Protein backbone atom coordinates (compact mmCIF):
# COMPACT_ATOMS: atom_id res chain seq x y z
CA UNK A 1 0.00 0.00 0.00
CA UNK A 2 2.84 2.31 0.83
CA UNK A 3 4.41 1.54 -2.45
CA UNK A 4 1.20 2.37 -4.24
CA UNK A 5 0.87 5.70 -2.51
CA UNK A 6 4.38 6.66 -3.33
CA UNK A 7 3.84 6.13 -7.01
CA UNK A 8 0.80 8.37 -7.09
CA UNK A 9 2.58 11.11 -5.29
CA UNK A 10 5.46 10.98 -7.70
CA UNK A 11 3.31 11.54 -10.80
CA UNK A 12 2.02 14.76 -9.28
CA UNK A 13 -0.96 16.54 -10.82
CA UNK A 14 -2.23 14.28 -13.58
CA UNK A 15 -4.08 16.94 -15.58
CA UNK A 16 -3.69 17.12 -19.29
CA UNK A 17 -1.48 20.12 -20.03
CA UNK A 18 -3.75 22.70 -21.61
CA UNK A 19 -1.18 25.39 -22.26
CA UNK A 20 -0.70 24.37 -25.89
CA UNK A 21 -4.40 23.82 -26.52
CA UNK A 22 -5.04 27.27 -28.02
CA UNK A 23 -2.08 26.77 -30.32
CA UNK A 24 -3.42 23.47 -31.57
CA UNK A 25 -6.86 24.92 -32.11
CA UNK A 26 -5.42 27.94 -33.89
CA UNK A 27 -3.48 25.64 -36.14
CA UNK A 28 -6.68 23.81 -37.12
CA UNK A 29 -8.47 27.12 -37.47
CA UNK A 30 -5.89 28.48 -39.85
CA UNK A 31 -6.08 25.29 -41.92
CA UNK A 32 -9.82 25.60 -42.33
CA UNK A 33 -9.63 29.34 -42.95
CA UNK A 34 -7.21 28.76 -45.78
CA UNK A 35 -9.17 25.93 -47.36
CA UNK A 36 -12.57 27.58 -47.09
CA UNK A 37 -14.00 29.00 -50.27
CA UNK A 38 -16.97 31.13 -49.40
CA UNK A 39 -19.56 30.81 -52.10
CA UNK A 40 -19.85 34.13 -53.84
CA UNK A 41 -22.47 33.39 -56.46
CA UNK A 42 -25.99 32.13 -56.16
CA UNK A 43 -26.80 29.73 -58.93
CA UNK A 44 -30.09 30.63 -60.53
CA UNK A 45 -30.35 27.58 -62.74
CA UNK A 46 -30.73 23.94 -61.81
CA UNK A 47 -27.65 21.91 -62.59
CA UNK A 48 -28.03 18.24 -61.86
CA UNK A 49 -24.69 17.05 -63.10
CA UNK A 50 -24.42 13.92 -65.23
CA UNK A 51 -22.51 10.89 -63.97
CA UNK A 52 -19.32 9.66 -65.55
CA UNK A 53 -16.38 7.36 -64.96
CA UNK A 54 -13.42 8.88 -66.78
CA UNK A 55 -13.11 11.79 -64.41
CA UNK A 56 -10.19 14.06 -63.83
CA UNK A 57 -9.79 16.44 -60.93
CA UNK A 58 -9.26 20.14 -61.33
CA UNK A 59 -6.42 20.79 -58.95
CA UNK A 60 -6.05 24.53 -59.36
CA UNK A 61 -9.34 26.06 -58.38
CA UNK A 62 -8.30 29.61 -59.08
CA UNK A 63 -7.96 28.85 -62.78
CA UNK A 64 -11.57 27.77 -63.00
CA UNK A 65 -14.42 29.85 -64.29
CA UNK A 66 -17.90 28.41 -64.28
CA UNK A 67 -20.70 28.50 -66.79
CA UNK A 68 -23.99 27.10 -65.59
CA UNK A 69 -26.49 25.83 -68.11
CA UNK A 70 -29.84 24.46 -67.06
CA UNK A 71 -33.52 25.17 -66.51
CA UNK A 72 -34.15 28.44 -64.68
CA UNK A 73 -35.26 28.01 -61.08
CA UNK A 74 -38.69 29.57 -60.57
CA UNK A 75 -39.76 28.84 -57.06
CA UNK A 76 -40.10 25.45 -55.48
CA UNK A 77 -39.78 22.62 -58.00
CA UNK A 78 -40.76 24.87 -60.85
CA UNK A 79 -38.42 25.43 -63.71
CA UNK A 80 -38.40 27.80 -66.63
CA UNK A 81 -36.63 27.59 -69.96
CA UNK A 82 -32.99 26.58 -70.27
CA UNK A 83 -30.78 29.50 -69.32
CA UNK A 84 -27.09 30.23 -69.13
CA UNK A 85 -25.47 31.81 -66.11
CA UNK A 86 -21.97 33.22 -65.87
CA UNK A 87 -20.80 34.57 -62.53
CA UNK A 88 -23.84 36.28 -61.04
CA UNK A 89 -25.92 37.08 -64.08
CA UNK A 90 -28.00 35.23 -66.60
CA UNK A 91 -26.85 35.52 -70.17
CA UNK A 92 -29.62 36.63 -72.52
CA UNK A 93 -27.65 36.97 -75.71
CA UNK A 94 -25.19 34.19 -76.57
CA UNK A 95 -22.75 36.55 -78.29
CA UNK A 96 -22.04 38.26 -74.96
CA UNK A 97 -20.25 35.12 -73.80
CA UNK A 98 -17.30 35.66 -76.10
CA UNK A 99 -16.52 39.13 -74.71
CA UNK A 100 -16.98 38.00 -71.10
CA UNK A 101 -14.77 34.99 -71.55
CA UNK A 102 -12.21 36.91 -73.59
CA UNK A 103 -11.80 39.36 -70.71
CA UNK A 104 -11.39 36.49 -68.28
CA UNK A 105 -8.88 34.88 -70.56
CA UNK A 106 -6.81 38.07 -70.69
CA UNK A 107 -6.64 38.06 -66.91
CA UNK A 108 -5.86 34.36 -66.70
CA UNK A 109 -4.45 32.80 -69.88
CA UNK A 110 -4.56 29.31 -68.38
CA UNK A 111 -8.26 29.58 -67.70
CA UNK A 112 -10.27 26.40 -67.46
CA UNK A 113 -13.96 26.82 -68.19
CA UNK A 114 -16.02 24.39 -66.17
CA UNK A 115 -19.33 23.71 -67.85
CA UNK A 116 -21.85 22.78 -65.23
CA UNK A 117 -24.64 21.62 -67.47
CA UNK A 118 -27.88 20.07 -66.32
CA UNK A 119 -28.21 16.52 -67.59
CA UNK A 120 -31.57 17.24 -69.24
CA UNK A 121 -30.17 20.06 -71.39
CA UNK A 122 -29.92 19.64 -75.12
CA UNK A 123 -26.70 19.62 -77.07
CA UNK A 124 -27.74 22.60 -79.19
CA UNK A 125 -27.20 25.12 -76.40
CA UNK A 126 -23.99 23.44 -75.25
CA UNK A 127 -22.59 23.56 -78.78
CA UNK A 128 -23.50 27.23 -79.13
CA UNK A 129 -21.69 28.01 -75.88
CA UNK A 130 -18.68 26.04 -77.08
CA UNK A 131 -18.64 28.02 -80.32
CA UNK A 132 -18.58 31.20 -78.26
CA UNK A 133 -15.73 29.83 -76.17
CA UNK A 134 -13.77 29.11 -79.34
CA UNK A 135 -14.38 32.68 -80.44
CA UNK A 136 -13.06 33.91 -77.11
CA UNK A 137 -10.06 31.62 -77.26
CA UNK A 138 -10.80 29.87 -73.97
CA UNK A 139 -10.25 26.36 -75.24
CA UNK A 140 -9.68 24.40 -72.05
CA UNK A 141 -13.05 23.19 -70.88
CA UNK A 142 -14.27 20.68 -68.36
CA UNK A 143 -17.63 18.96 -68.44
CA UNK A 144 -18.36 18.91 -64.76
CA UNK A 145 -19.74 15.52 -63.75
CA UNK A 146 -20.12 13.38 -60.68
CA UNK A 147 -18.63 9.97 -60.06
CA UNK A 148 -20.93 7.15 -60.99
CA UNK A 149 -21.22 5.13 -57.80
CA UNK A 150 -23.54 2.47 -59.20
CA UNK A 151 -20.77 0.96 -61.33
CA UNK A 152 -18.28 0.52 -58.54
CA UNK B 1 11.21 55.78 -2.05
CA UNK B 2 8.58 53.72 -0.38
CA UNK B 3 5.96 55.58 -2.34
CA UNK B 4 7.69 54.82 -5.58
CA UNK B 5 7.84 51.16 -4.84
CA UNK B 6 4.14 51.11 -4.16
CA UNK B 7 3.35 52.61 -7.54
CA UNK B 8 5.22 49.94 -9.45
CA UNK B 9 2.60 48.13 -11.51
CA UNK B 10 2.29 44.43 -11.79
CA UNK B 11 3.14 43.11 -15.20
CA UNK B 12 0.26 43.58 -17.64
CA UNK B 13 -1.07 40.29 -18.95
CA UNK B 14 -3.78 39.44 -21.42
CA UNK B 15 -6.07 36.86 -19.89
CA UNK B 16 -5.54 33.77 -22.00
CA UNK B 17 -8.02 31.46 -20.34
CA UNK B 18 -10.74 32.16 -22.89
CA UNK B 19 -8.38 32.02 -25.85
CA UNK B 20 -9.08 28.36 -26.50
CA UNK B 21 -12.83 29.01 -26.42
CA UNK B 22 -12.58 31.83 -28.91
CA UNK B 23 -10.42 29.75 -31.18
CA UNK B 24 -12.85 26.86 -30.87
CA UNK B 25 -15.78 29.03 -31.90
CA UNK B 26 -13.95 30.30 -34.96
CA UNK B 27 -12.83 26.78 -35.75
CA UNK B 28 -16.39 25.49 -35.63
CA UNK B 29 -17.55 28.30 -37.89
CA UNK B 30 -14.96 27.46 -40.54
CA UNK B 31 -15.55 23.73 -40.10
CA UNK B 32 -19.21 24.24 -40.92
CA UNK B 33 -18.68 26.57 -43.86
CA UNK B 34 -15.86 24.60 -45.48
CA UNK B 35 -16.72 22.45 -48.43
CA UNK B 36 -13.78 20.35 -49.43
CA UNK B 37 -15.26 19.14 -52.66
CA UNK B 38 -12.86 18.60 -55.49
CA UNK B 39 -14.21 19.61 -58.84
CA UNK B 40 -14.34 16.58 -61.04
CA UNK B 41 -15.25 16.38 -64.66
CA UNK B 42 -14.23 15.36 -68.13
CA UNK B 43 -11.54 17.67 -69.44
CA UNK B 44 -11.47 18.60 -73.10
CA UNK B 45 -9.59 21.07 -75.23
CA UNK B 46 -11.68 22.74 -77.90
CA UNK B 47 -10.15 23.18 -81.33
CA UNK B 48 -9.03 26.74 -82.04
CA UNK B 49 -11.25 28.88 -84.18
CA UNK B 50 -10.73 28.14 -87.85
CA UNK B 51 -9.86 30.98 -90.14
CA UNK B 52 -12.32 31.23 -92.99
CA UNK B 53 -9.81 30.69 -95.75
CA UNK B 54 -8.05 27.75 -94.12
CA UNK B 55 -9.36 24.34 -95.01
CA UNK B 56 -9.37 21.76 -92.20
CA UNK B 57 -6.68 19.15 -92.81
CA UNK B 58 -7.84 16.10 -94.77
CA UNK B 59 -8.42 12.96 -92.74
CA UNK B 60 -8.35 9.46 -94.10
CA UNK B 61 -11.67 7.74 -93.73
CA UNK B 62 -10.25 4.67 -92.01
CA UNK B 63 -8.51 6.75 -89.35
CA UNK B 64 -11.78 8.17 -88.13
CA UNK B 65 -14.14 6.31 -85.83
CA UNK B 66 -17.48 7.97 -86.30
CA UNK B 67 -19.99 8.03 -83.47
CA UNK B 68 -23.35 9.59 -84.14
CA UNK B 69 -25.87 10.26 -81.39
CA UNK B 70 -29.41 11.21 -82.38
CA UNK B 71 -32.08 13.18 -80.56
CA UNK B 72 -33.48 10.16 -78.72
CA UNK B 73 -30.04 9.12 -77.53
CA UNK B 74 -29.55 6.23 -79.96
CA UNK B 75 -26.00 5.60 -81.04
CA UNK B 76 -24.70 4.90 -84.51
CA UNK B 77 -21.17 3.50 -84.41
CA UNK B 78 -19.52 3.49 -87.84
CA UNK B 79 -23.01 3.54 -89.40
CA UNK B 80 -24.15 0.53 -87.37
CA UNK B 81 -26.67 0.96 -84.55
CA UNK B 82 -25.10 -0.05 -81.28
CA UNK B 83 -25.27 0.40 -77.53
CA UNK B 84 -23.35 2.96 -75.54
CA UNK B 85 -21.43 0.23 -73.70
CA UNK B 86 -19.94 -1.10 -76.94
CA UNK B 87 -18.09 2.13 -77.68
CA UNK B 88 -15.30 1.47 -75.22
CA UNK B 89 -14.05 -1.73 -76.83
CA UNK B 90 -14.49 -0.30 -80.29
CA UNK B 91 -12.30 2.68 -79.38
CA UNK B 92 -9.60 0.36 -78.05
CA UNK B 93 -9.79 -1.75 -81.21
CA UNK B 94 -9.69 1.33 -83.42
CA UNK B 95 -6.75 3.05 -81.75
CA UNK B 96 -4.55 0.00 -81.20
CA UNK B 97 -5.21 -1.40 -84.67
CA UNK B 98 -1.83 -0.39 -86.12
CA UNK B 99 -3.02 -0.97 -89.65
CA UNK B 100 -3.99 -4.63 -89.38
CA UNK B 101 -7.74 -4.25 -90.00
CA UNK B 102 -8.51 -2.03 -93.01
CA UNK B 103 -11.62 -0.65 -91.32
CA UNK B 104 -9.72 0.73 -88.37
CA UNK B 105 -6.89 3.22 -87.98
CA UNK B 106 -3.41 3.05 -89.47
CA UNK B 107 -1.59 4.00 -86.28
CA UNK B 108 -2.49 5.19 -82.77
CA UNK B 109 -1.16 8.67 -83.52
CA UNK B 110 -3.38 9.11 -86.55
CA UNK B 111 -6.52 7.61 -85.03
CA UNK B 112 -9.37 10.03 -84.44
CA UNK B 113 -12.64 9.45 -82.65
CA UNK B 114 -15.38 11.75 -83.84
CA UNK B 115 -18.56 12.34 -81.87
CA UNK B 116 -21.40 14.02 -83.64
CA UNK B 117 -24.68 14.86 -82.00
CA UNK B 118 -27.92 16.38 -83.08
CA UNK B 119 -28.90 19.64 -81.44
CA UNK B 120 -31.70 17.86 -79.58
CA UNK B 121 -29.45 15.17 -78.17
CA UNK B 122 -29.74 15.05 -74.37
CA UNK B 123 -26.56 16.27 -72.69
CA UNK B 124 -26.65 13.24 -70.42
CA UNK B 125 -26.33 10.85 -73.36
CA UNK B 126 -23.55 12.91 -74.86
CA UNK B 127 -21.58 12.74 -71.61
CA UNK B 128 -22.14 8.98 -71.42
CA UNK B 129 -20.79 8.55 -74.95
CA UNK B 130 -17.86 10.88 -74.29
CA UNK B 131 -17.18 9.05 -71.04
CA UNK B 132 -17.08 5.72 -72.86
CA UNK B 133 -14.62 7.08 -75.41
CA UNK B 134 -12.41 8.40 -72.63
CA UNK B 135 -12.65 5.08 -70.79
CA UNK B 136 -11.48 3.41 -74.00
CA UNK B 137 -8.41 5.62 -73.98
CA UNK B 138 -7.90 5.05 -70.25
CA UNK B 139 -7.94 1.30 -70.91
CA UNK B 140 -5.32 1.71 -73.62
CA UNK B 141 -3.14 3.83 -71.37
CA UNK B 142 -3.52 1.39 -68.49
CA UNK B 143 -2.46 -1.58 -70.63
CA UNK B 144 0.45 0.53 -71.89
CA UNK B 145 1.43 1.11 -68.26
CA UNK B 146 1.31 -2.63 -67.64
CA UNK B 147 3.49 -3.20 -70.70
CA UNK B 148 6.00 -0.72 -69.30
CA UNK B 149 6.07 -2.75 -66.10
CA UNK B 150 4.08 -0.27 -64.05
CA UNK B 151 1.01 -2.44 -63.70
CA UNK B 152 0.48 -1.44 -60.09
CA UNK B 153 -0.73 2.07 -60.91
CA UNK B 154 -3.58 3.24 -63.06
CA UNK B 155 -3.11 6.04 -65.57
CA UNK B 156 -4.59 8.69 -63.30
CA UNK B 157 -2.10 7.84 -60.54
CA UNK B 158 0.92 7.70 -62.84
CA UNK B 159 3.59 10.41 -62.59
CA UNK B 160 3.28 13.27 -65.04
CA UNK B 161 6.30 12.43 -67.17
CA UNK B 162 4.97 8.91 -67.72
CA UNK B 163 1.58 10.35 -68.66
CA UNK B 164 3.18 12.66 -71.21
CA UNK B 165 5.19 9.78 -72.67
CA UNK B 166 2.13 7.57 -73.01
CA UNK B 167 0.00 10.31 -74.48
CA UNK B 168 2.68 11.00 -77.05
CA UNK B 169 2.31 7.46 -78.37
CA UNK B 170 -1.44 7.25 -77.79
CA UNK B 171 -2.86 10.76 -78.03
CA UNK B 172 -6.53 11.11 -77.27
CA UNK B 173 -7.81 12.70 -80.45
CA UNK B 174 -11.49 13.23 -79.79
CA UNK B 175 -13.27 15.48 -82.20
CA UNK B 176 -16.62 16.96 -81.33
CA UNK B 177 -18.45 17.68 -84.53
CA UNK B 178 -21.06 20.38 -84.51
CA UNK B 179 -24.66 19.36 -85.17
CA UNK B 180 -25.89 19.96 -88.71
CA UNK B 181 -29.19 21.36 -87.53
CA UNK B 182 -27.74 24.01 -85.27
CA UNK B 183 -29.66 27.28 -85.25
CA UNK B 184 -27.49 30.38 -85.22
List chain B domain ranges.
Answer: 61-177
How far does the CA of residue A123 sit from the closest CA of chain B (Å)? 5
* Ordered structural domains, chain A, with CATH: 51-147 (3.30.420.270)
Cβ contact (<8 Å) for B40 and A57? yes
Cβ contact (<8 Å) for A121 and B122? yes
ipTM: 0.75
- Which residues neighbour A64 within 8 Å (Cβ) at sequence distance 6 or greater? A58, A111, A112, A113, A114, A142, B39
> E strands, A13-137, where?
51-52, 56-57, 64-73, 79-86, 89-91, 112-117
Q: Block means of pLDDT (10 residues each) for chain A, length 152 residues?
A: 52 72 84 75 86 84 87 86 88 88 90 90 89 89 84 55
In chain B, which residue's Cα lies nearest the Cα of A52?
Answer: B131
Tens digits of pLDDT across chain B (184 residues): 555 555 567 788 877 778 778 888 888 888 887 766 678 888 888 888 877 777 777 777 888 888 888 888 888 888 888 888 888 888 888 888 888 888 888 888 888 888 888 888 899 999 999 999 999 999 898 888 888 887 778 887 888 888 888 888 888 888 888 888 776 5
Cβ contact (<8 Å) for B46 and A133? yes
Cβ contact (<8 Å) for B122 and A119? yes
| Displacement of CA B60 from its chain's centroid (Å) | 27
Look at residue B174 and give its three-state secondary structure.
strand
Q: Which of chain B's residues have a Cβ under 8 Å away from the Cβ of A146? A: 40
Residue B179 is classified by DSSP as P
Amino acid sequence: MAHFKKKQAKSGANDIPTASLPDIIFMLLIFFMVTTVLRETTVQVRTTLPKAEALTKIEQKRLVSYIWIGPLKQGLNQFGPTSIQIDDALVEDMTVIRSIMYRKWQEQPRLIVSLRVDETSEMGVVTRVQQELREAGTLRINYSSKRDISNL
Amino acid sequence: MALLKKKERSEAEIPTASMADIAFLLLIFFLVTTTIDVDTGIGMVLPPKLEDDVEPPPIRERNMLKILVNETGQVLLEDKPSGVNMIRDEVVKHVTNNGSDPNYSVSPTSAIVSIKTSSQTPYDTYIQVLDEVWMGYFNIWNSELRRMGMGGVTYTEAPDDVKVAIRKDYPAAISIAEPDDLEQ
